[in-house]
Structure 1
Amino acid sequence: VLESFGSRGQDLSTEELWQKVLQEVTAEELRAPLHRLCALQAGWWLADRRLGSITSLFCLLRQAEDTGRARCSQGENKLLYLLKAWQVPAEEASLPLVQSAEDLKETLCTSAAFLQGLLELEAENFPTAFSLLKEAAGGFCSKRVLAQIYTCLGCCAQRMGKPQTALQHLKQALQVDFQCLPALSHAAAVYHELRETDAELQALALLYEALEKNPPGATSSNPRFLMQTELLVCTPVLASLLRDRHPSEVKYLLAQRCLQDGRVADAVEHYLDVLTLLQEGPQQQVPLVGSSALPRIPEVFLEAASALEQAGRHQDAITVCEEVISRTTDLIPRMLRVEEELELPECPSPGEGLAGLSQKKENLRCLAWRAAGYLHQGWARAVLGESKEAITQFSRCLGDLLRVQLCGSGVGLTENPLPEVEVLQKIRLLSLIGRGTQFLELGKHKEALLDFQHGLQISPGDPAAISYLVLALWKLDRKKEAAAHWLKISQSPPREDEQVGRSFPLYLMSCLQQAVFPHRESLSSRLQDYL
């Protein structure tokens, strides 16, 4: 354009070129083409998230037009104001256009509001983000994009602590485009937050059914225009909010929620479906990054075993755990030394750092999975009345845990231990209680007493361990000691459940339930009579 007017623009930035063009080119016949070029440039910059450059460009365009219209008011979004105030020149009716300048203007307005809303959402400026997204929802776009905008509005409202408003917008997204499956996924999350389990499970079931019919990546878009919002607005936060769930991931959520809600029969059915999906092939594997709901595969197997135990299918639980044990056997070192703080040093030396630390944590996890497999098998054998076999499995669990050497003051349960170490300690406690109960069944009261004493060393004051300790002392005819321990328990203030404030893995649920002392009332009555 500049060369046609005998001017040069070498060594100028794109912004400076535009400034020179709009100052020097005043021919009326070039006015409409220049406006279209401005729109195309704005689209290019918008895709590159250069919002400041777009604002400067339309400020220059406005100055060149010298419209004399009112200025942007304080607090108003300047870019949106400039785009809306842009007076698009009339176009020749005979000129064949793929996309008119008016359409470009509407697309830019919607895209600018959408993009700014997403950026504010990423910056956690939720009220501003909500306002901008609402602006975008009233703009010019396809149904697919409108559904995405409503989905983002729902997520923003949820983060603002407005779950009902979130559900309203997520339902709008589905009404506009039922193929917007992320909206259904986010709706399930909101229902979970509201503790509306039936609605959550219904949403997850619908999501799974839809994914079976249309697997992730099956949908395709057919652009109507060369420049559209789908092509201009691409940000990491949008990709995260609109991430496709995999069928195995959704099926797992159904299983997990059912198990947490005590719907054991449904949980078992869903968990077995998950295990089948995971074994079908790589297409069902979900990358364990970001916000994936699917945990590590051994944990899924152990949760399935927990559900099977609660459903009374103990032999099936034993079989599932054997799969975990066999697959983790070669992954655990003979000895594992855990330092006081398993954290990355500020200046790691060459050859150390993240790789070594992550490997040590991975070893701890593998050890926990294998030990938990033995733990589940022990409790399953105990329920089946196979006390000797149960003791063998509990002993194998404890033997595995002896591979860990805890060093330093930061690893005890009383001083905020590492999560991996805390899980191992809990498994050890449950295994000692389990083996002790089976020793009691076989009449080996001294061996049982030792296990309960060791359990209390790991977790002083544990209600189940203390109660079983009292029972073992009573059976050993050490009634005076038993009564003294019982009096100490009854006179101490009620202790809150140990799990409050601590998040133990879901796969330990059935073991935690089985470790609860079942004879508290009868033992209390006998001790009161003795006293």
Structure 2
Amino acid sequence: MSVTSGLFERWAEENNNIIRKWKKYEIQFQSLQNTRKCCNEELLKLHLKVQGVPALTEQLQLEITISFNTLIFSLGYSTSNETTCHLTNTLVRALEAVGTQEPTSDLVTLWQVVVPTFRGTEYEPWIHKLLLVQWALWLSEGQFEKILHLLVLINHKKQSTLSMDLLAETRNLAISIQEDTLLSSVAVQDLKNILHLTTFISHGVEQMKKEKYSEALLAFQEAITLPSPRALLAHVYTLIGLSFAKLHQPQSALQSYRKALEADFNCQKALYQSSLVYRSLGNSNAEIEAVRLLHSASLLHAERDSSGTSALLVSPDMLLGSEQMTFICQIPSPLHILHTLGQRCVLNDRNSEGAEYYLDLLAYLQSDSKEHIPTKDGLLFPRLPVVYLEAAFALLKAQRFWDAIAICDEVIAMTVDLIPEMLVIKIPMEASSELSALALEPDDPGEKLECVLWSGAAYLLQGQAYLQLNDTKEALTSFTRAINHLVKVHIKQKEMDSVETGDMDLNVVVLKALKAKVLAVRAVCFAERSQLKEALRDFQLSLQVLPGCKNTGMWLVEILWRLDRKEEATVIWRQIHNSAQSPTTLNLPLYLQTWQEDAICFDKSNLIKKMEEFIQSSVTEQ
């Protein structure tokens, strides 16, 4: 007996030495990953020694403590199955020590025997330690129903009083806590607290996924009343804000996001969600400022990523699981953020800022950075030519015309070898008037169509830049090259198949809008050069391609007037003023969104005066 007692004492001291070593490095924050791995390996060896002798009640507390420490350290290294196997073996040996047969290796059934067997005994606090490990495992796997039954079992309520409410059972959980001379890797109370907190958060996230936002809000609001690390508290406030946003309470959402930032100024999701709320409220300046702060925070976060790793053996990330942490923390990549920043500035006429952000974006894309276009954050990043065209458009609006021309040259160089001599696109006959779903040829000409559109848009933007520089000759050359590319695409109608349905294809819409715009701006060029017949032709063609542009119609009246075709001008004038049709709203890329305005706008006051006087005189003569 003395030999066995001495063996137990050596194992106890070995356990304590391992934990002391971890605590020392944990406090100093030195070589944590190597130390943790080393402690894990030493505990596994010790665990095997202890389980190499028959299970006895006098060694039960020691064995459970060593098992608890081993399990806690293995959470970050072993698979879920390996940890579950270690836990099962420990529970079985605990039952063997007190002479109780194991019912099954199924953990749910096993716990139904273990908990009543040790309830009220001196070993109950140590069994509860293992129960916390089981809770952690099931929580990380999202096994909420199993957790609920486990907590109900601990609370040992009568069946008639069971609430079967996970949050209620978690809130009312009574765990026996007893510390002794054996050192534990994690304080039991601390582990219980973090499990309590993350269970509330995890439950709330699951309710959000089910679109039960009111239930989620209740869980999150209770979570913030519990002790929590500042970073996690910020995430909970962010989730509260997201719940309010989904419940159409934007001001409450913004208040929650502010609290998140007060808890942790680097909470990027709070900034991102704030920008979305501001956008929904139409507060562009606040939206842009939130995205700007988000961009700065993302750069700082990237710099800190190479720093030390968390010392927590049981972290919120581990308990919530990767899927839930992705839901809680996911934000756009720095590349997406920079693109959004540039785009929102341009759309809100902050053109100089927008141009600078786009230039930063292009510099990043052209750099040797290992992080290229992200594909894992659930957001679509535009194709590279589109980004270049948006940048050229931003520079054009910022009146940096030569920079815009240079960037357009890069787009043209990207696409020049991919432009086909002719491209036939077939669309269903019954839907052609609505620019219906694109039916691609067997050789899939979609990519070639994209290249035609990109090169056409690049030449259009170049021509507009030259027009602003009063170089109408170069402008005409660019517009003509754009048209020469666009006319290579032929849209043909075909019989509608019963299976051919779908949404409007954006590329066909863009093709028509782009062709109409290029013809209109080339007509303006001809008018500037007093080539009125050519201007008339292009304005008429523009309206044939895409009717309804009021500015193009007014230009057509102006050209007819200059050609002394006043009666025809009057007819079109009356058509424009009598038309009740509102301008067609098209979902176009950023660089074409002002296609109905900008370069084809002109001072209509003189034309209006001339037409009104002519019509009045015609009425008087009659």
TM-score by length of 1: 0.86
Aligned to 2:519: 432
| AA of the residue aligned to 2:483 | L
Deviation, 1:508, is: 1.8
Greater RCO (Cα-Cα under 8 Å, separation 6 or more): 1
Q: Which residue of 2 aligns with 1:344?
A: none
CA distance in 2, matches of 1:170, 1:116: 20
CA 1:10–1:108: 2 relative to 1, 3 Å: same
Q: 1:90 to 1:270 in 2, by over 3 A?
A: closer
Q: Is the 8 A contact 2:425 2:440 kept in 1?
A: no
Could you tell me the percent identity over the aligned residues?
31
Q: Which residue of 2 aligns with 1:176?
A: 263
Q: What per-residue deviation string (whole Å, max 9, x for no partner) do you get for residues 164-212 of structure 1? A: 2112121212211222222222223322332333333333333333333
Alpha-carbon contact 1:439-1:448 (below 8 Å) kept: yes
Q: Distance in 2 between matches of 1:355 and 1:487?
A: 41
Between stretches 389-398 and 419-428, larger displacement belongs to 389-398
Could you tell me how far 1:287 is from its partner in structure 2? Answer: 1.0
Residues 459 and 482 in structure 2, CA contact (< 8 A), matched pair in contact too? yes
Deviation by residue 1:365-400 (Cα, 9 ceiling, x = unmatched): 333222110111122222222223222211221222
AA aligned opposite 1:71: T
Match of 1:259? 346
Distance 1:337 1:497 in 2: 29
Structure-2 residue corresponding to 1:71: 161
Task: Give the deviation of 1:518 after TM superposition.
Answer: 1.0
Select which of 592, 598, 606 maps to 1:514.
598
Question: Tell me, what secondary structure is at the counterpart of 1:86?
Answer: coil
- Residues 410 and 417 in structure 1, CA contact (< 8 A), matched pair in contact too: no
The answer on 1:53 being equivalent to 2:146 is yes
Give the equivalent residue in structure 1 for 2:69.
Answer: none
C-alpha distance in 2, partners of 1:446/1:314?
29
Is the alpha carbon distance of 1:185 and 1:363 closer, same or farther for their aligned partners in structure 2, counting shifts above 3 Å?
same
Q: Identify if the C-alpha distance between structure 1 residues 25 and 211 changes in structure 2 by more than 3 Å, giving closer, same or farther.
A: closer
Structure 2 equivalent of residue 452 of structure 1:
539
Cross-structure match for 2:480: 395
Matched, 1:492 2:585: no
1:475/1:240 Cα in 2 relative to 1: closer, same or farther (>3 Å)? Answer: farther
Structure 1 CA distance for aligned equivalents of residues 119 and 467 of structure 2: 92
1:386 aligns with 2:471: yes
User: In terms of mean alpha carbon deviation, does 222-231 or 37-46 score higher?
Assistant: 222-231
Residue 88 (structure 2) aligns with: none
Q: 1:132, CA displacement in angstroms? A: 1.1
* Aligned position for 1:21: 114
2:455 paired with 1:370: yes
242 and 355 in structure 1: CA distance in 2 versus 1, 3 angstrom threshold = farther
Contact kept? 2:548, 2:584, Cα under 8 Å: no
Matched position secondary structure for 1:295: coil
Listed as ranges, the gaps of 5+ residues in structure 2 are 1-93, 429-438, 497-501, 616-622
The letter of the residue matching 2:477 is T
Name the TM-score, length of structure 2 as normaliser: 0.74
How many angstroms does 1:49 deviate by? 0.3
Partner of 2:549: 462
- Of 487, 491, 500 in structure 2, the residue corresponding to residue 406 of structure 1 is 491
Question: Against the structure 1 CA distance between its residues 440 and 237, is the aligned structure 2 distance closer, same or farther, given a 3 Å change threshold?
Answer: farther
1:276–1:482 Cα change, 3 Å: same
Partner of 2:71: none
Q: How far is 1:229 from its partner?
A: 2.1
Asked if the contact 1:150–1:169 (Cα under 8 Å) also holds between the matched residues in 2, the reply is yes
Q: Which amino acid aligns with 2:609?
A: S
2:588 aligned residue (504, 507, 510): 504
Matches within 5 A, 1:111-150: 111-150=198-237
- Structure 2 CA distance for aligned equivalents of residues 266 and 223 of structure 1: 38
CA shift digits 1:30-52 (9 cap, x unpaired): 31222111111111010000101
Counterpart-to-counterpart distance in 2, 1:355 and 1:122: 37
Note if contact 2:213-2:247 (Cα within 8 Å) is conserved in structure 1.
yes
Instruction: State the shift of 1:526 in Å.
Output: 1.7
The Cα RMSD (Å) is: 3.1
1:526 corresponding residue in structure 2: 610
CA separation of 1:393/1:240 partners in 2, compared to 1, >3 Å: closer, same or farther? farther
Equivalent AA in structure 2 for residue 159 of structure 1: K
1:285 alignment partner in structure 2: 372
Cα deviation digits, residues 205-248 of structure 1 (max 9, x gap): 33333333442661767555433322101253541442354444
1:400-428 deviation digits (Å, cap 9, x = unpaired): 222323233799xxx97311211111111
Distance 1:459 1:317 in 2: 27
Question: Structure 1: which 5+ residue stretches go unaligned?
Answer: 342-353
Deviation per CA, 1:342-378, whole angstroms, max 9, x where unpaired?
xxxxxxxxxxxx9999965444333322211011112
Contact 1:208-1:251 within 8 A present in 2 as well: yes
Give the conservation status (yes or no) of the 8 Å contact 1:158–1:166: yes
CA distance in 1, matches of 2:183, 2:484: 80
